[in-house]
């Protein structure tokens, strides 16, 4: 195997593992609650080969699907590459053929026109199917049992968009899945395809609209009435790509926007609200209606959180000088102004998780990884360069209601929430943990937390025999749903 570059994108927790693995009957400390019966799927970027050019970013690494399977108090782990067209071409060649992050003009000419998505961002489960997604292409369907790749997913030929987001939203009552694709009509296009799949998994709605400029639209939100599209000024330009330049540049002086559309409305009904210049959010926690007011809660920062994008933009803004926090934007759907009211409601952090039942509804509890300065040295790694060392629980009306601070040289990743079967109970959080054991030596565990009291000692810790590559996002699928899908 070719050596990887010794750059931040390939060191610390970002150090590639590049190996499929299965680990069975893992060592469990404590007791797994009986309600935890299902699969925790994780999307893991892990490059198969050294980059074609000098360096690359974590976001370009080949997607692996990792499954932490809980059955009767026992735990297994399996991790497999997604057999994307790109992975297969490079596997055959024995080396990288695709060039820089989202720049096809830097690829080897032998792969011109080949789907270059790496399916590395979120495992999505809907209507009995499992997908691996990345925003620059269509999803790949995965067999949840064998983890085999079934192929690129085009909604039975119905999807027109060339892309599909890694951040879908599922209504807890109707079970419809709301999603979108940006750069839907081609690279750097301003086309967004807004889509709805019904509870049976059929694509029943796809309408296209144009954004004020071509922006990275990583996430969106739904309320009970609306679909909400935030547009932050991280922008693309095809001429820049043709000269081998970066896909994204953050324009600090450019305004942001919020597009709001009735959930099942015609795109001609889209309303645009104007937001502050230069801000950026990767993830939206939740959105909900309160009379004619619409609230959108997101992990907002004063500039783009990714160092490589700030560098490519000529922005000299070091990570510690970035400000922001969990921020609520409110718009008045009963007036015809374009103002956004903004206020901070929680500490900085990212990768928020709300309970599935609260999606698009008023909510009083959510969780997200954060940085606690009192927690001691954090670990290097991830796309931002430094990993979160704490987990905060928040009631958006009251602020933080709990904090789990990791010991020094530990990292905690995005949790999944497992609902309790008993009314009034809060359920469980499952998250992977990394620990530095020595220079360049790491180990991983899976922690199970009481969702009511995250600061209490974990109810169980599962030990991995070798370290895990940190995930981007995860998804919990109950065993009953997997079995129903298998029987269908």
Rounded CA separation 218/264 (Å):
21
For ligand V55, which is the closer residue by CB, 121 or 301? 121
Closest by alpha carbon to 61, among 51, 76, 71, 72?
51
Rounded CA separation 45/63 (Å):
5
Token pair of 347 as six digits: 């500490």
For ligand V55, which is the closer residue by CB, 218 or 361? 218
Widest pairwise Cα distance in the chain:
61
For ligand V55, which is the closer residue by CB, 107 or 171? 107
What is the nearest approach in angstroms of ligand V55 to the Cβ of residue 374?
A: 26
What is the nearest approach in angstroms of ligand V55 to the Cβ of residue 200?
A: 29
Q: Where are the alpha helices (DSSP H) in 10-84?
A: none
For ligand V55, which is the closer residue by CB, 235 or 405? 235
Q: Where are the alpha helices (DSSP H) in 168-320?
A: 238-242, 307-312
Rounded CA separation 145/6 (Å):
36
For ligand V55, which is the closer residue by CB, 290 or 311? 311
For ligand V55, which is the closer residue by CB, 12 or 45? 45
What is the nearest approach in angstroms of ligand V55 to the Cβ of residue 299?
A: 11
Walk across the sheet containing 293-301 and list its strands: 280-290, 293-301, 324-332, 341-346
Footprint on this chain of ligand V55 (rule: CB under 6 A):
45, 59, 120-121, 134-135, 218, 282, 472
What is the nearest approach in angstroms of ligand V55 to the Cβ of residue 247?
A: 10
Q: Which residues on neighbouring strands pair with residue 173, listed in sequence order?
A: none
Cβ burial 452-472 (10 Å sphere, 16+ → b, else e): bebeeebbbebebeebbbbbb
What is the nearest approach in angstroms of ligand V55 to the Cβ of residue 134?
A: 6
What is the nearest approach in angstroms of ligand V55 to the Cβ of residue 252?
A: 19
Q: How many CB atoms lie within 10 A of CB 387?
A: 22
For ligand V55, which is the closer residue by CB, 361 or 469? 469
What is the nearest approach in angstroms of ligand V55 to the Cβ of residue 281?
A: 10
For ligand V55, which is the closer residue by CB, 101 or 363? 101
Neighbouring residues of 162: CB distance < 8 A, sequence distance ≥ 6: 137, 138, 181, 183, 184, 185, 186
E strands, 17-62, in order: 21-23, 27-30, 38-45
SS3 call for 164: coil
For ligand V55, which is the closer residue by CB, 166 or 379? 166
What is the nearest approach in angstroms of ligand V55 to the Cβ of residue 246?
A: 13
Q: How many CB atoms lie within 10 A of CB 292?
A: 11
What is the nearest approach in angstroms of ligand V55 to the Cβ of residue 71?
A: 29
Token pair of 83 as six digits: 């057999």
């Amino acid at each position: 195997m070719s050596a990887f570059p010794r750059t931040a994108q390939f060191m610390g927790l970002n150090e590639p593992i590049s190996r499929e693995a299965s680990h069975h009957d893992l060592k469990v400390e404590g007791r797994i609650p009986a309600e935890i019966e299902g699969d925790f799927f994780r999307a893991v970027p892990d490059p198969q080969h050294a980059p074609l050019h000098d360096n690359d970013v974590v976001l370009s690494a080949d997607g692996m699907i990792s499954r932490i399977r809980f059955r009767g108090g026992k735990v297994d782990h399996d991790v497999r590459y997604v057999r994307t067209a790109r992975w297969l071409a490079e596997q055959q060649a024995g080396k990288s053929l695709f060039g820089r992050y989202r720049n096809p003009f830097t690829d080897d000419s032998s792969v011109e026109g080949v789907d270059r998505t790496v399916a590395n961002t979120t495992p999505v489960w809907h209507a009995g199917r499992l997908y691996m997604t990345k925003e620059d292409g269509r999803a790949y369907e995965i067999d949840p049992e064998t983890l085999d790749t079934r192929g690129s997913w085009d909604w039975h030929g119905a999807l027109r968009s060339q892309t599909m987001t890694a951040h879908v939203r599922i209504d807890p009552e109707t079970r419809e899945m709301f999603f979108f694709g940006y750069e839907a009509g081609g690279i750097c296009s301003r086309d967004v395809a807004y889509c709805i799949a019904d509870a049976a998994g059929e694509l029943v709605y796809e309408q296209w609209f144009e954004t004020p400029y071509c922006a990275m639209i990583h996430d969106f939100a739904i309320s009970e009435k609306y679909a909400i599209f935030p547009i932050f000024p991280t922008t693309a330009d095809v001429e820049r790509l043709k000269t081998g330049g970066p896909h994204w540049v953050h324009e600090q002086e450019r305004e942001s926007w919020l597009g709001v559309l009735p959930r099942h409305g015609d795109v001609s009904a889209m309303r645009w609200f104007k937001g502050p210049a230069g801000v950026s959010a990767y993830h939206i926690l939740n959105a909900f209606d309160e009379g004619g007011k619409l609230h959108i809660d997101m992990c907002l920062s004063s500039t783009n959180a990714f160092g490589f994008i700030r560098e490519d933009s000529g922005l000299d803004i070091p990570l510690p000088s970035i400000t922001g926090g969990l921020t609520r934007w409110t718009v008045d759907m009963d007036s015809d102004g374009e103002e956004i009211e903004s206020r901070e409601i929680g500490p900085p952090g990212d990768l928020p998780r709300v309970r599935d039942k609260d999606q698009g509804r008023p909510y009083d509890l959510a969780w997200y990884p954060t940085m606690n300065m009192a927690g001691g040295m954090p670990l290097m790694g991830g796309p931002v360069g430094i990993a979160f060392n704490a987990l905060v629980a928040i009631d958006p009306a009251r602020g933080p209601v709990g904090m789990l601070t990791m010991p020094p040289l530990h990292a905690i990743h995005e949790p999944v929430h497992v609902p309790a079967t008993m009314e009034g109970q809060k359920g469980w959080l499952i998250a992977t943990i990394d620990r530095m054991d020595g220079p360049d030596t790491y180990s991983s565990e899976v922690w199970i937390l009481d969702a009511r009291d995250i600061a209490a000692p974990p109810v169980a810790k599962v030990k991995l025999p070798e370290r895990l590559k940190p995930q981007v996002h995860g998804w919990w699928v109950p065993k009953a749903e997997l079995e129903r899908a298998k029987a269908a």
